[in-house]
Amino acid sequence: MFGSYAITLKPLLTTVLSASAQQWKHTRHARNALLTARTFCNKPNNTEEKSVRPPPTYSGQAIYRNEKRPTPFDKKVLLWARRFKKEEDIPETVSYELLSAAQSKVRVMTCYLMIALTVLGCVAMVIAGKDAVRKENTLVKRNLERKAKWRAEKELEVESLKEQ
């Protein structure tokens, strides 16, 4: 009656009975002992052949569940990533893996472009700064001229108030 179950219960019972009293004080230890005592890969004793179930048949749309119809932006991304030469070459449905790989490639290309533009901007600022130093057009000189202009305007206002 319990032939096949007795074999699988034997390791469980030995683990449960061999556990110390301290382990059973905490329910977590007891639960772990029960979970680890299960046999995972043991085959049942009866070696009767079981009928193999045929793989499930899919309805029409379930076949295309890993594919997506690309949006116009997705099509542009696929073209930028050089996956296709023309927009007409892009199929009606595209796999998520292909689209994800194309997006990653475009993301990396965008990062490289931003890095290059940042470096070019830095070089342009260095060149502009050195050119300004050669022409003696520094920020300090500009600030002194601006403050002198403000003082002159203030003096004109004060004189015009005195005359009235």
What was the pLDDT predicted at 109?
A: 96
53 lies in a domain?
no
Per-residue pLDDT of 140-158, as tens digits, reads 888 999 999 999 999 999 8
pLDDT for 70 beyond 60: yes
Shared domain for 79 and 117, answered yes or no, is yes
Burial of 78 per CB tally in 10 Å (0-12, 13-18, 19+): buried
Q: What mean pLDDT is reported for the chain?
A: 77
pTM comes to 0.47
Cβ–Cβ under 8 Å, residues 78 and 102: yes
Euclidean distance between CA atoms 26 and 157, whole angstroms: 88
Place of tokens 């009293």: 21
- Tell me the residue range of the domain where 112 lies: 66-163
Torsion on CA atoms 158, 159, 161, 164, rounded to nearest 10: 170
Shared domain for 139 and 82, answered yes or no, is yes
Shared domain for 73 and 28, answered yes or no, is no
108 lies in a domain?
yes
Per-residue pLDDT of 20-63, as tens digits, reads 555 545 555 555 555 555 455 555 555 555 556 666 565 555 55
